Amino acid sequence: MFFSKRKIDSIKKFTTNEIDSICKKNGRDIISEGRISTSIESKIKRNQTKILNGSGGFSYKLYVNHFNEENYDKLSKIEKRKYDFDKYSDLIKGDYHQAIHYENSYSENIYGEFYYFKTSLFYVKIKVIRTENNKEDISET
């Protein structure tokens, strides 16, 4: 069955490229940042342990798409003030970044991109970069 005029609505499933384009156009809705402290204990020999202390930070950004822009534009000013954006908006992407530097050892950066359709996660990209002193970066995707 073919439809001559199809409109984009909340039933439309976007590709990851379309989601990236929407996010770039609309900008982020929520951003949060924080600090991280951690310790790693590893055994060197039978009875010896080595403790690495690390510190760093993390941040995440959330992107939301509003599917009913046409309907919103038709509303009066009073109706626009009462409009429930949460009801007609969906989370479409989340970006996460974490960086930790371990004393006299190495640094680790973790990047994550999480793509959503409605409330369901459908695609994840994760990249881990480990930088050791005086060595080339090790990157895993």
| Residue-wise pLDDT tens digits, 16-42 | 888 899 888 888 888 999 999 988 888
3-state secondary structure of 125: strand
Q: How many CB atoms lie within 10 A of CB 54?
A: 18
Q: What is the mean pLDDT of the chain?
A: 82
Q: What is the reported pLDDT for 5?
A: 33
Tell me: the pLDDT tens digits for 32-83?
999 999 888 888 777 777 888 899 999 999 998 876 777 888 889 998 888 8
Query: Exposure of 23 by Cβ count < 10 A (0-12 exposed, 13-18 middle, 19+ buried)?
Result: buried
What is the mean predicted confidence (pLDDT) over 90-100? 92
Q: What is the reported pLDDT for 67?
A: 65
Question: Does residue 7 lie within any of the structural domains?
Answer: no
Consecutive H or E run containing 141: none
The whole domain housing 42 covers 16-140
Question: Does residue 11 lie within any of the structural domains?
Answer: no
Question: Does residue 109 lie within any of the structural domains?
Answer: yes
Top pLDDT among 2 and 35 is at: 35
Consecutive H or E run containing 72: helix 69-74
Q: In what order do the strands lie in the sheet with 30-43?
A: 30-43, 49-66, 89-102, 106-117, 120-132, 138-140
Structural domain count of the chain: 1
Instruction: Please determine, for residue 9, whether its predicted confidence score (pLDDT) is greater than 70.
Output: no
Q: What is the reported pLDDT for 25?
A: 87
Residues in CB range of 9: below 8 A, 6 or more apart: 67, 68
Question: Does residue 9 lie within any of the structural domains?
Answer: no
Q: What is the reported pLDDT for 11?
A: 55
Q: Cα–chain-centroid distance for residue 19?
A: 12
Question: Does residue 107 lie within any of the structural domains?
Answer: yes
Question: Does residue 111 lie within any of the structural domains?
Answer: yes
**Half-sphere exposure for 19 (CA within 13 Å, toward CB):** 24
Question: Does residue 3 lie within any of the structural domains?
Answer: no
Question: Does residue 1 lie within any of the structural domains?
Answer: no
Which tokens belong to 124?
């994840």
